[in-house]
Structure 1
Amino acid sequence: MSPGLILPATILAVASAATHDFSKQLRDEIQLLAGLGVEGDAHAGQTVKHRSRVRVDPTQPNLRQVHLIGTELHAELARAGFDVGPADLGENITTQGLDLYALPVGTQLTLGESAIIELTGLRNPCAQIEAFQPGLLAQVLGRADDGTLIRKAGVMGIVIAGGVVRAGDAIAVRLPPPPHRVLERV
């Protein structure tokens, strides 16, 4: 096995939405486009598409082309009494068997046969999560023992290599060379 390679996890679900709705629609497959994101998704593009960030500076690079959440978060939320499934929190890709939050910035995920996403950072949980289900925001935000804010609303990435991605596809993980930087809000 080559250095920095972690054995495959899998994709549980894929989703997209042409409009800026909170939740996305589950799909049989999505097409990732290099340098842009998910074909037909409201957040695809070279420059930022999230409305709050567009208001600040519409020319900034889009580091949030693809949103990923692990199904492990859905299970955690279910134990806390919430009903949240794939695509409900706006993710394009729901993973299984992979601790997304433990991966460093620059980690590359090979999805299926050819698509590659590079992780850029964490999604910042916002008021829309609370509007989706009251009390949910508190479940995806927390504090570590040292007071550091913990964000659990998914990770963001950019598309390095395009390709079709489907539920059931394997995910291979390639870590960047050290030193590793922890994922931070993007």
Structure 2
Amino acid sequence: MNFKEAVVTAVCISERKGEQKHPVEEVELKVDWGIVGDAHAGNWHRQVSVLSCDSVRTLQEKLPDYKLEPGAFAENVLVDGITVYRLPVGTRLALGETAEAEVTQIGKQCHNDCVIRQKAGDCVMPREGIFVKVVKPGFLKAGDTVRVIGEPENRANNSRKY
């Protein structure tokens, strides 16, 4: 596997805001909406959150007695094989067989001190999670691939937009 391709290890949703995301078998990605059935979907720039397994592993080492399950960081898509926070804003991704998305934001401001930060003194999502908007519909499940299919013309766009 090269640096431009990853494997989806989990897809997660939460039915209501304020609840931890949990793994599901498959998600439907809808243009200008995000994941059908996820409480954070909507017509905005943070439709789907993506996090690398490497980011989770790094923090898991700090918490040997606390199991970080998929969805623990409020990520919708957990991937192995790409360090997602290194993808510039504007990067286009193929998600599974048919869906496509564009990176819109790297990291986010946290509004509350999460359980993970309280236990580990750190949380990776604010600096290593990314957000994408869906530009072509489809379905996504664990085992599918995520591929970089286009990079932004203006590399100066690689900024945190929060």
In structure 1, the partner of 2:151 is 176
Deviation, 1:78, is 1.1
Aligned-partner Cα distance in 2 for 1:26–1:124: 22
Q: Which residue of 2 aligns with 1:8?
A: 5
1:35-60 residue CA offsets vs partner (Å, 9 max, x unmatched):
110001111111xxxxxxxxxxxxxx
Stretches of structure 2 that go unaligned for 5 or more consecutive residues are: none
Displacement of 1:111: 1.0
Matches within 5 A, 1:25-36: 25-36=22-33
* TM-score, normalisation: structure 2: 0.86
Superposed, which structure 2 residues align to 1:105-116 within 5 Å?
A: 105-116=89-100
2:61 maps to which of 71, 79, 104:
79
Structure-2 residue corresponding to 1:138:
122
- TM-score by structure 1 length? 0.76
Conserved in 2, the CA contact under 8 Å of 1:33 and 1:163? Answer: yes
Could you say if the C-alpha distance between residues 129 and 167 of structure 1 is closer, same or farther in structure 2, counting changes exceeding 3 Å?
farther
1:97 aligned onto 2:81: yes
In structure 1, C-alpha distance between the alignment counterparts of 2:52 and 2:113, rounded to whole Å: 16
Rounded Cα–Cα distance in structure 1 between residues aligned with 2:81 and 2:30: 25
One-letter amino acid matched to 1:159 = V
SS of alignment partner, residue 73 of structure 1: helix
| Equivalent residue number for residue 36 of structure 2 | 39
**Cα deviation digits, residues 61-85 of structure 1 (max 9, x gap):** x110000111111100011125323
3-state SS of paired residue (1:31):
strand
- The 2-side partners of 1:40 and 1:98 are apart by 26
Stretch moving more, 109-118 or 130-139: 130-139
Query: Once the 2 structures are TM-superposed, how far is the Cα of residue 174 of structure 1 from its aligned partner?
Result: 2.2
2:47 matches 1:65 = yes
Give 3-state SS (helix, strand or coil) of 2:112's partner: helix
Q: Deviations over 1:108-144 (max 9, x none)?
A: 1101110111100123242535345514463438xxx
> Does structure 1 conserve the Cα–Cα contact (< 8 Å) formed by 2:11 and 2:27?
yes
